[in-house]
Structure 1
């Protein structure tokens, strides 16, 4: 019937909208490592630590962790609490002090006017004034800067960061904490290079404190992630009800018959990952968050409502195939 066809199209659209939302930067769930990192960053910031390095191998979930932590800190300290997240994905190889300060202002969304007519000092003042004003508007007099892909920073940039820190602290009584994020190989090499060069000022300010970020390390942690996904609602295409959970929508018969949950398949999910790890000789103890989420979405795409072959519910073989579809094991970082 035409009505059935329209309804099925609506369900397929809802499935696509929901999966797209869960792939977006706005969707993230917490892991044990994210909670630990949040605790560390909060403690460092409160104790007045100048900086620290945070590292974890590729695809482990560092970027999502940063997004979650920024949201959590804004909930705790207010939306006006100044936190700058600066990703150096397009960082130039020849950085001047002028381009350095302009880069920060660009991330902050501050118009610098005629770039050729403004000096590096004027740009620096704009950066310092931003943090000074924003931090003073809160009762904490603190600010945070998180630099992702931090291994791309030049030595001079660390001194410019120290200058910003010192000016804020001495002239404005504002405490700025700077956190450098990257992979273990790159961040540790950067630190060791500064140690060999006896750059004690840089090392003592930015590299004494560190945290190694990891993925999902146990079945219990994976179960927690699945329980969070049990709380997630679909993003609907009208007239589908907007207060419907993922299991109820993607696996309706299992939900109606037994109130099935993703938490109930945690052990099978963990075993599936371990089988793939054994097959491809993966030696890491933890599972990168990116592969977990990709495999979960692949399960919804391949076996849930809106798929060509919808299933009653997920089983270990289905999950194993979904994990392999992500490239886990065949495309794996050795960092």
Structure 2
């Protein structure tokens, strides 16, 4: 029942952009873990999950929530770790400076770039009247022992400036293997600074998770467009005005995901639905429903079935 792209109408809501972030219960759990670590002054932790579960999207959502939690008084930076190893400390520091927004990231030798980096972060902490900064490393499974030692230098130098660096490593389960290896090698300085705490980030795994996402789409004023319409309202305004809500169909949607992914049947071993599948499903579901918008809108089962199959991702 899928319509072609030529049938797409203009929907005035940023939800249709793939980069748009939607809060979920797993993201709330990860945020709460981070806040607990920071309350207890933990220097770092690991947040891991298989690919396509939604870690990078979660970072986009967690950063502003974390900033808001601390009333924008704690600087939060993100650093994207590339798959290839950093050949030199100079290249590492250049990438670091670029990712945190320094306008002068390419000039100078490694020692000059390190001074520039330390001064930039320390000054930001001072301007925010903060005694800590947060560094979120995405794809942290690509960090090497040498890279950790470079990060340790930065951590120690900031500590001497009375600035605590809290490092959050987002990555794949290989991070747990690296942590175990560093413990075996007695590299406790790495584990203690960057891997002291562990949180398993998850995808959608039950109907409560689906309902939570759908409820935000239906009701959240925070996710309304410039005209004040919620996600659901912007896509099916006639149905919405008549009382239609996406969350009332959560059970049907979850049943189809559970059946197609084999969740809990012991056959294919699926444990969860990644956000890399679930959010494209939601975007296209609402896009398709926008063509059917009436005050007596029905959710076609064949549409749900087709979209679950079309967005299927084998992530675990």
TM-score band (shorter)?
0.7 to 0.9
- Quote the Cα distance in structure 2 between the aligned partners of 1:12 and 1:206: 46
Alignment partner of 1:174 out of 163, 172, 176: 163
Q: Distance in 1 between matches of 2:229 and 2:105?
A: 48
SS of residue matched to 2:98 = helix
CA distance, structure 2, for counterparts of residue 196 and residue 270 of structure 1: 42
Aligned-residue offset at 1:248: 4.0
Determine the C-alpha separation between the residues in 1 that align with 2:127 and 2:233: 45
Matched, 1:36 2:29: yes
Q: CA deviation at 1:298?
A: 1.9
RMSD in angstroms over aligned alpha carbons? 2.8
Q: Partner of 1:176: helix, strand, or coil? A: strand
Asked if residue 197 in structure 1 is aligned to residue 191 in structure 2, the reply is no
Of residues 129, 132, 136, the one that matches 2:122 is 132
Distance 1:12 1:244 in 2: 19
Higher mean displacement: 292-301 or 207-216: 292-301
- Between 292-301 and 120-129, the greater mean CA deviation after superposition: 292-301
Question: What is the distance in 2 between the residues matched to 1:248 and 1:114?
Answer: 47
Alpha-carbon offset, residue 28 of structure 1: 1.7
Confirm or deny: 8 A CA contact 2:95 2:105 kept in the other structure.
Answer: no
| Inter-partner Cα distance in structure 2 for 1:111 and 1:139 | 22
String of CA shifts for 1:79-133, please: whole Å, max 9, x gaps. 45311111123x5434211111111111122233763xx2211111111111111
Of 290, 303, 307, 2:289 maps to 303
Q: Counterparts of 2:106 and 2:228 in 1: how far apart (Å)? A: 50
Partner of 1:312: 297
1:333 maps to 2:312: no
Distance 1:254 1:157 in 2: 54
Q: Distance in 2 between matches of 1:298 and 1:124?
A: 46
CA contact (8 A) 1:52 1:206 kept: yes
Q: Does the 8 A contact of 1:45 with 1:144 survive in 2?
A: no
Partner residue in 2 for 1:14: 10
1:13 Cα offset (Å)? 4.3
User: 5 Å matches for 1:27-66?
Assistant: 27-66=20-59
Shift of 1:254: 3.4
- Preserved contact between residue 155 and residue 165 of structure 2 (Cα < 8 Å): yes
Q: 1:298 to 1:132 in 2, by over 3 A?
A: same
Structure 1 CA distance for aligned equivalents of residues 225 and 168 of structure 2: 34
Q: Gaps spanning 5+ residues in structure 1: where?
A: 1-10, 237-241
Shift of 1:284: 2.6
Preserved contact between residue 251 and residue 313 of structure 1 (Cα < 8 Å): no
Q: Which one of the candidate residues 96, 102, 109 is aligned to 1:119?
A: 109
Q: Is the 8 A contact 1:14 1:234 kept in 2?
A: no
TM-score between both structures, scaled by the size of structure 2: 0.86
Q: Which of 82, 89, 92 is residue 97 of structure 1 equivalent to?
A: 89
**Counterparts of 2:203 and 2:106 in 1: how far apart (Å)?**
45
Using the alignment, how far apart are the partners of 2:105 and 2:44 within structure 1? 31
Distance in 1, matches of 2:54 and 2:131, equals 30
Runs of 4+ in structure 1 deviating by more than 6 angstroms, as ranges, are none
Q: Give the secondary structure class of the aligned counterpart of 1:304.
A: helix
Deviation at 1:253, TM superposition (A): 4.9
Residue 213 (structure 2) pairs with residue 225 (structure 1)? yes
Structure 2 vs 1, CA of residues 164 and 272 (structure 1 numbering), >3 Å: closer, same or farther?
same
Contact 2:43 2:192 in 1 (8 A): no
CA distance in 1, matches of 2:247, 2:127: 43
Structure 1-normalised TM-score? 0.82
Correspondence for 2:151: 161
Bigger Cα displacement from structure 2, 156-165 vs 283-292: 283-292
